[in-house]
């Protein structure tokens, strides 16, 4: 029973700390970047420290550069990727290739013929 009381007390303390820290650090950084888009992470930390906000340089860097990534990503278009289409061969094409290989005397001779044809083009 004593352990349950201690964990409940710890949880209550954590909630109080969160309630006191009502200012979102990431939002502070975003607000600063809106006014000063050219500032780097170090400049952001210094500027927010002067205003009374305590922010780490790592968080400032993460917020600044992750917002740019999201803008670059854009919206993905639905559809089939071109590389996936080029790798697929239809059944009728395979049947034609088999007939050609048989006419030329086997798969190896067909490969040699296709290699020679590629050199000509």
Higher pLDDT, 120 or 10: 120
DSSP state string for 80-100: --HHHHHT---HHHHHHHHHH
User: What is the rounded distance in angstroms from the CA atom of residue 42 to the CA atom of residue 53?
Assistant: 14
Q: How much is the pTM?
A: 0.43
Supply the pLDDT for residue 54: 87
Among residues 71, 73, 69, 58, the alpha carbon closest in space to that of 26 is found at: 58
Share of the chain above pLDDT 70, in %: 70
- Measured from the Cβ of residue 75, the count of other Cβ atoms closer than 10 Å reads 5
Residues 34-77: tens digit of each pLDDT: 999 899 999 999 999 998 888 899 999 998 888 666 666 666 66
């Amino acid at each position: 029973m004593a352990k349950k009381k201690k964990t409940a007390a710890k949880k209550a303390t954590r909630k109080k700390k969160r309630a006191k820290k009502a200012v979102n650090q990431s939002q502070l950084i975003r607000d600063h970047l809106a006014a000063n888009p050219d500032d780097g992470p170090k400049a952001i930390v210094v500027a927010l420290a002067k205003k009374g906000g305590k922010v780490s340089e790592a968080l400032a860097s993460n917020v600044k550069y992750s917002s740019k990534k999201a803008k670059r990503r854009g919206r993905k278009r639905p559809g089939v990727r071109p590389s996936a289409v080029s790798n697929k061969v239809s059944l009728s094409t395979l049947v034609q290739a088999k007939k050609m290989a048989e006419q030329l005397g086997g798969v190896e001779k067909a490969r040699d013929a296709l290699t020679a044809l590629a050199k000509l083009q």
